[in-house]
């Protein structure tokens, strides 16, 4: 299945390094060309000779290897996928902060291939705020994560942090490689994606807002850029954004309206993933409202319906995608919004379900098309949801 695919398998210094031997073997058996890269720490747990024997070529262990000058550039540029298994807290921290102090971290910064990290560490380390923050940063940049399992750890403890089963890791790697190979070519497609919830000021301190984290919109933008699209991301949140994306930062619905509508005419696709406020204060107070003055009277007015405006201005061949966050009768409400807005696709999710929608790293959606098509995507990480959305967009464009 993976014939012709070149995989860099990074092995970091943790007790779970022994499982990377099985990951290497399984990848080679599937037809992949596996290039093992072992950190100095990994060599305390596993031997280079083992990976020399099982990999498709001799293992790399040093940035200063005499086999080839600047090996990180060569290995990063030629990889179809980079896997780090196990990914220790040290490697995750270095990768998230852009510090390269050995061959593996240099490869991670030098590659444009998809990266799959498979964390493994003791429970206290896995749950530490710094580790979780680093993972959030990496996910925001499009790095794929195979979460550790709960099980027996070194020292006899039981808890979260055990490296995922090698079969699970290889399955995730295979999905990424096959998705990359079969993904519709979006090269040259001009796309606008919106993300996050708008903030409508009541006074200089307070605002009307919502719980949207912007993670799904950012995932759509990153996946579209990875598939060759020229992406403009209009976002209200400060998540990290790849250099290949043109990011436009806004706060209010009016600012988003201007940013989107001023660029929409030249866009082939507009994906309105942002949660735009339906109402805003008629006038924001110039200074902070004080409690002593009693409850303020805040008069509201409707904001511009950006998606409806796009529908009225759309040019032939342009694809418009809306989102519907619901708490009941998901399909009914999403279908009604699809028809009312006159758009091509609607992505609906039931935010009352566990792990779905706002603030989560996962989502589950139904994608309805104006042509009557319907795709249900079960709970998955938001990058996987983004791939399904882009596939639906590609299908809509090819059938129009």
36-49 pLDDT, tens digit each:
999 999 999 999 99
Instruction: Give the pTM.
Output: 0.66
Dump strand ranges (E) for 236-277: 246-249, 269-272
Return the closest-CA partner of residue 71 out of 43, 41, 111, 40: 111
CATH numbers and ranges of domains, the chain: 6-182 (3.40.50.1950), 190-399 (3.40.50.10300)
Average pLDDT over residues 171-176: 88
Q: What is the mean pLDDT of the chain?
A: 92
Q: Which residues are catalytic?
A: 210
What's the token pair of residue 82?
């980079």
Return the closest-CA partner of residue 174 out of 21, 34, 72: 34
What's the token pair of residue 306?
């950006």
3-state secondary structure of 171: helix
pLDDT at 67: 64
Separation of alpha carbons 266 and 81, rounded Å: 33
Say if CB 8 and CB 79 are below 8 A apart.
yes
Average pLDDT over residues 254-265: 97
244 vs 134, which has greater pLDDT? Answer: 134
Asked if omega into 103 is within 30° of 0 (cis), the reply is no
Return the closest-CA partner of residue 233 out of 244, 250, 245: 245
pLDDT at 400: 65
What's the token pair of residue 354?
């566990």
pLDDT at 34: 97
| Confidence tier at 58 by pLDDT (50, 70, 90) | very high
pLDDT for 171 beyond 70: yes
pLDDT for 176 beyond 70: yes
For 76-85, 150-159, 320-329, which range has the lowest pLDDT when averaged over its residues? Answer: 150-159
pLDDT for 273 beyond 70: yes
pLDDT at 373: 94
pLDDT for 397 beyond 70: yes
pLDDT at 180: 66
| Percent of the chain whose pLDDT exceeds 90 | 76
| Confidence tier at 185 by pLDDT (50, 70, 90) | low
Separation of alpha carbons 374 and 361, rounded Å: 23
């Amino acid at each position: 299945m993976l014939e012709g695919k070149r995989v860099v398998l990074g092995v970091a210094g943790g007790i779970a390094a022994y499982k990377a031997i099985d990951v290497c073997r399984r990848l080679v058996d599937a037809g992949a060309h596996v290039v093992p890269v072992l950190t100095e720490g990994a060599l305390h747990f596993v031997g280079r000779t083992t990976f020399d024997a099982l990999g498709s070529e001799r293992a790399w262990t040093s940035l200063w290897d005499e086999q080839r000058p600047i090996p990180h550039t060569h290995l990063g540029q030629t990889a179809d996928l980079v896997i780090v298994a196990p990914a220790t807290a040290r490697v995750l921290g270095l990768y998230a902060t852009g510090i390269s102090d050995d061959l593996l971290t240099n490869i991670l910064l030098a590659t444009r291939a998809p990266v799959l990290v498979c964390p493994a560490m003791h429970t206290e380390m896995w749950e530490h705020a710094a580790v979780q923050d680093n993972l959030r940063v990496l996910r925001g940049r499009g790095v794929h994560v195979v979460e550790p399992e709960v099980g027996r750890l070194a020292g006899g403890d039981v808890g979260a942090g055990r490296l995922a089963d090698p079969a699970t890791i290889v399955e995730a790697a295979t999905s990424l490689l096959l998705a990359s190979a079969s993904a519709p070519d979006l090269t040259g497609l001009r796309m606008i994606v919106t993300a996050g919830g708008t903030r409508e000021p009541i006074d200089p301190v307070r605002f009307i807002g919502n719980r949207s984290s912007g993670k799904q919109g950012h995932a759509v933008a990153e996946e579209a850029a990875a598939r060759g699209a020229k992406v403009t991301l209009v976002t209200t949140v400060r998540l990290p954004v790849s250099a290949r994306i043109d990011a436009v930062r806004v706060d209010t619905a009016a600012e988003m309206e201007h940013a989107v509508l001023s660029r929409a005419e030249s866009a082939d696709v507009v994906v309105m993933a942002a949660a735009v406020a339906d109402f805003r204060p008629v006038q924001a107070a110039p200074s902070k409202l004080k409690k002593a003055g009693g409850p303020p009277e805040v008069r509201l007015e409707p904001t511009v319906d950006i998606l409806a405006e796009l529908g009225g201005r759309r040019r032939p061949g342009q694809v418009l995608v809306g989102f519907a966050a619901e708490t009941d009768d998901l399909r009914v409400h999403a279908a009604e919004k699809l028809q009312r807005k006159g758009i091509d696709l609607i992505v609906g999710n039931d935010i009352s379900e566990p792990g779905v929608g706002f603030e989560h790293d996962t989502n589950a959606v139904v994608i309805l098309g104006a042509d009557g098509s319907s795709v249900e995507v079960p709970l998955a990480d938001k990058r996987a949801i983004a791939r399904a959305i882009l596939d639906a967009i590609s299908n809509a464009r090819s059938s129009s």
